[in-house]
């Protein structure tokens, strides 16, 4: 969380660790297996949506802004942020630049 008046970092509202599984060696994949993967609960988009719901809506007069990585590039995560009246942005890199837009 960031204080908008002076840019000071106040803290973090939520965080979830997600470990990407290594892809197995390439083998012929059946279509059913692909569909099962898409519906799996071990997807980054699911993790981001759950975190947005966990943080919840912001208090009166405040607006949460979720800083996301590539895993949140998904309609499901965007829809959940919108339902909580939160803003979101995707960080362009995996490093902190020390500057705010």
Contact (CB, 8 A) for 64 and 84 = yes
pLDDT, one tens digit for every residue, the chain (101 residues):
777 788 787 778 888 877 777 777 777 666 655 555 555 666 776 888 888 999 999 888 888 888 888 778 888 888 888 898 888 888 776 555 455 44
| pLDDT of amino acid 101 | 46
DSSP string, 60-93: TT---EEEE-GGG-SHHHHHHHHHTT-EEEE-SS
pLDDT at 81: 87
Q: Where are the domains of the chain?
A: 41-90
Residue 43: left (phi > 0), alpha (psi -120 to 50), or beta?
Answer: beta
Tokens coding 91: 């960080």
């Amino acid at each position: 969380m960031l204080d908008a008046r002076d840019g000071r970092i106040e803290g973090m509202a939520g965080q979830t660790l997600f470990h990407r599984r290594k892809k197995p060696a390439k083998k012929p994949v059946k279509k059913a297996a692909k569909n099962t993967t898409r519906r799996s609960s071990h997807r980054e988009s699911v993790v981001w949506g759950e975190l947005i719901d966990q943080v919840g809506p912001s208090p009166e007069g405040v607006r949460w802004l979720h800083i996301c990585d590539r895993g949140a590039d998904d309609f499901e995560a965007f829809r959940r942020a919108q339902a909580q009246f939160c803003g979101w942005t995707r960080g362009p890199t995996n490093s902190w630049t020390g500057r705010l837009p």
